[in-house]
Amino acid sequence: MQILRLHVSNFRLFSEADFRFSPGMNLVRGPNESGKSSIVNAMVACLFEKPGARNKALRSARRWSAGEEPVIEIEFTHEGSSYRLVKDFASAKALLEDLEGGTELSTPKAVQEKISGFLGFSDSAHYLRTACVTHDQMVKLAEEKSGAQKLASMLRELVVGARESEVVDNAIKELSGQIDELKRGLEHPAGSPGTILRLQEERRRLTERQAEVSEAVSGLEEKRARLAEVGGLIGERRKDLEEGRSLVDRNMRLLELRRKSGEARGRFAAADRVKEARSKLEKVDEEIKKDFPGFANLDSSAEETIVEEAERIKSLAQVRDGLAGGKVTGKDEAGSRRRAQWGWAAVGAGAVVIALGVVLGMINSILFLLVALGAVKLLAGVYLLWSASGSLSGGAERLIEERVKSTEEEMKALESRQKKVLDSLGFEDSESFLDSLASYKAKLAERERAAAGLGALLGGRTAEEVEEERREASLEAAAYETETRGLEPFKVEAVELDRLTRLVGSLEEEVADLDKERQGISFHLEHSYADPEEAIELEENISWLSEEEERARRRLRIDALALEAMDKTKESLLSPAVPLLAESVGETFNSLTGGRYDTVEVSESDLGISVYSKEKGDMIPADEILSTLSKGTVSQLYLASRLRLVELLSEGRRPPLIFDDSFSYFDDERLRLLWELLIDTAREQQVILLTCTDRYDSLVSPEVNVIELGPLQ
């Protein structure tokens, strides 16, 4: 068959497109997304798909922007006759028209049978696996470890027949499975044992059980006697254990009661201390109320005011006395010298007092009054010195007298105001007030200490809560004492209590060991007991298992002989085709590789292909081809095999060969050799090669039909 024209409507990328092909070599060239794969899919769909099919492949083949199903038309020639094939997937109709004879077929089944006769293939799967070679197929076939097995399987179907090959393979597979199941676990460890090993293990288990039954029967009385002995020992040890444990528990309880009684007495004593502290605080409060009634509402500044006024009065008295002393006159020389001495003394004292007042005033502001006192003394000293020198005038004397008089008036005002304050407080003078105030402050400090002590003892509790704790502690202590008196007769010394504790522990361990032994004996008696009927039944089952194992071994030998015969039969069926396949694949592979690999062998057992390597000097087995040869060479081998398979599977009908960007692994030299092979093949069989590269431009000759595809809009 040679396809001459392809017309598609609403198919994938094409809304409407028409392509013309030549019977020989065709090169379809276009960039990615230009519709090359859509052309291949359209050809395959028209040749093989039923027009009424609604499978996933055809649903995806409909043009994305179109609401109608595809319509595909192919014009082709076969053995000198011209035909037109139409598949209308919208109306589910098919038409095959003989353009020369005028006859036509319109039923899908009749059309498909006729097309299958032309191509030599009945379904698209076989055609795609052989005559239609895509880029993805070559990549996957070269990389899959199962590629060699797939190729061998296809060759076996060709030689033996698809049905016969399947029957033989299934029979061999079933026999192999039966053999593997029978002997699984005999030669190598296995998670799931086979029939023979399972029978052996069951027989071994029953044999061990048989030995247990015999041992149980023989030692039954001995076990029962020991069980009775152990039961008696347990009773004796438990009685001793209960007595010792009771005495230890009473002494431990006695120790605990003493501890708790001590704690209760401690809480009671603590509550008493709270009560004493509270009474002490109340006593101090009563003393303050009784002895210092006037100080309850005393202003905090009263003390400071009285002290300041007392110091002021004292300072004013000293000023007055100093001024009054400056008025003494005398004309004798001795009096002048005395005034001069007093003057210098007053000046020195005044300077010292002023300096002291400045320093101490920084500590307490009241002491700044010393500065005024020092100034007065300094002034008096200057006056005495002046008087001694005879330079004091009458106006100055009158000034001093006025100053003395104003000082006395100020002193009287201060003394009057101070007397009123002291009278309101009940004191005659400031000295008695200050003494009483010091006593009051001392008593307040004593109260503060008493209150702090009470707060520490209360710890955030109220007095009522402490009193309730005191009552509870008293009751607890009484209860503990009562229980203690009841346990006193059982009291032992510490050394004896330690000995009893160790004895109780030892008895507990001994009782536990005896009880464990009793449980073990009881369990053994319960599970080891076997009557004579069980022994007979075990003997019968062991004998039956032995017979079953022998039958399984006999079946294993028969299946092994049958498998050997099937393998020989399979080899006898495949062996006639081996030389033919080896020669045809070898010739094609030799041409593709430029004579580098000139020898190909095909296995008689499974038709696996091996290649002779000149560099290695030996054959490359089928299961090592993918790991030994380059990807390009592997692609050449599979291409050679598939070309021969097309010829053999189609029984010489020579369907169109389609290559969709299949040779990405080929370098320039491999591509040249391939092109020569394809050109030679195209003389007798149509070849359609689709590509997105310009690698074939230098190889194209005039006899090649070139179809240029542009980017689709």
- pLDDT tens across 618-634, in order? 888 877 777 777 777 77
**Separation between Cα atoms, residue 44 and residue 36, nearest integer Å:** 13
pLDDT in tens, 27-65: 999 988 888 888 998 999 999 988 876 665 566 666 666
Q: Which uninterrupted H or E stretch holds 26?
A: strand 25-29
Using pLDDT thresholds of 50, 70 and 90, give the confidence band for residue 467. confident
Its pTM stands at: 0.46
Q: Using CA atoms, how far apart are residues 32 and 711, in angstroms rounded to an integer?
A: 8
The pLDDT assigned to 393 comes to: 46
What pLDDT is attached to residue 6? 95
Name residue 512's amino acid: A
Q: Is the pLDDT of residue 179 over 90?
A: no
Which pairing describes strands 609-613 and 104-105: parallel, antiparallel, or unpaired? unpaired
Q: What is the mean pLDDT of residues 416-421?
A: 73
Residues constituting the chain: 713
Instruction: Extract the tokens encoding 474.
Output: 């008293």
The more confidently predicted of residues 382 and 263 is 263
Mean pLDDT of all residues in the chain?
78
d(CA 231, CA 572): 80
pLDDT tens, 275-324? 888 888 888 888 888 877 767 666 666 666 777 767 777 777 777 676 66
Structure tokens at 610: 């091996």
Dihedral sign computed on CA atoms, order 677, 680, 684, 689: positive
Give the rounded percent of residues in the chain with a pLDDT score beyond 70: 75
Q: Which whole number is the average pLDDT over 415-421?
A: 73
> What is the residue whose two structure tokens read 């021969």?
644
Given this model, what pLDDT does residue 391 score? 43
Question: Cα dihedral angle (158, 164, 167, 170), rounded to 10 degrees?
Answer: -20
